[in-house]
Amino acid sequence: MVDSTTSPRIEKYKVGRIARVTREDNEQVLKDISNVNQPQPQCMKDLCAEYNCEEVQVKADGNCQFRALSLGLYGSEDRHAEVRANIVQHLRENAVSYFQFVEGDKKRVFADYVNRISHDGQWGDEITLAAFVEYYSRGVRVLRDSEKNSVIDHMREGLQEDAIMITYHGKGHYNGAKPIRA
């Protein structure tokens, strides 16, 4: 007798009511288990829908945070190098505001950090997001594929209305987000 109301399908045998999972069921179970720790695209879609935006894929080349910010500012990821250069310039000119966020011998380590971050392909981080907010006077709302802290705002007073939205996937990749027009 086949019980089609359960998933996976279980064949029941009259003697002792022994249940057996078919090979087809086993493949589905393994597929479901393999996705347990993977980002769930539907979660990001739902989060974007809640914030009235749509995720836009950007190139994953180490410049993704700057590409996502460029997309939010200019409608294109093509100006990511300009966004990076402006953030780096801001960090250099305002080291006193940022050096305490880098561990180690603060002044030397911060200079090394800024030099590293100035190169194409180097990942952006929380410090570069903070510098972006200050340089461009635009807030940034990061939608994350995490159950905890799924939204992180990088804002100054008065910047909430004009904030750029970007998405972050837990393995170190940012994408852009564009508003959905009603």
Query: The domain that contains 175 carries what CATH number?
Result: 3.90.70.80
Please confirm, yes or no, whether 169 is among the known catalytic residues. no
Residue 1 clears pLDDT 90, i.e. is over it: no
Residue 11, pLDDT > 60, answer no
| Catalytic (active site) residue 173 | yes
Q: What is the mean pLDDT of residues 113-133?
A: 95
Q: Which of 64, 80, 90, 154 is catalytic?
A: 64
6 and 45 co-located in one domain: no
Confidence of residue 182 (pLDDT cuts 50, 70, 90): low
Distance, CA of 54 to chain centre = 13
Both 169 and 89 in one domain: the answer is: yes
Total domains present in the chain: 2
Per-residue pLDDT tens over the stretch 131-140: 999 999 999 9
Taking Cα atoms as reference points, which of 164, 167, 129 lies closest to residue 43? 167
Same-domain pairing of 81 and 122: yes
Task: Please say if 64 is a catalytic residue.
Answer: yes
Let me know whether 53 and 137 are in one domain: yes
Domain, as residue range, for 90: 41-179
- Give the pLDDT of residue 106: 63
* Count of other CB atoms within 10 angstroms of residue 64: 24
Is 18 a residue whose pLDDT tops 70? no
Predicted pLDDT at 156: 75
Residues 72, 119: one domain? yes
- Kindly give, in sequence order, each residue whose CB lies less than 8 Å from that of residue 181, ignoring residues fewer than 6 positions away: none
Which band of pLDDT confidence, cut at 50, 70 and 90, is reported for residue 79?
Answer: very high
**Are 28 and 74 in a shared domain?**
no
Mean pLDDT of the residues in the chain: 79
Query: Is residue 13 located within the same domain as residue 60?
Result: no
Instruction: List the strands of the sheet with 173-179, edge to edge.
Output: 53-56, 173-179, 164-169, 140-144, 151-154
Domain match, 79 and 129 both: yes
Which residue among 3, 32, 46, 61 is the active-site one?
61
The reply to whether 106 and 130 lie within a common domain is yes
Residue 105 near residue 128 (C-beta atoms within 8 A): no
Tell me, rounded to whole angstroms, the distance of Cα 80 from its chain centroid. Answer: 17
* Residues 75-91, mean pLDDT to the nearest whole number: 97
Q: Is 50 exceeded by the pLDDT of residue 120? A: yes
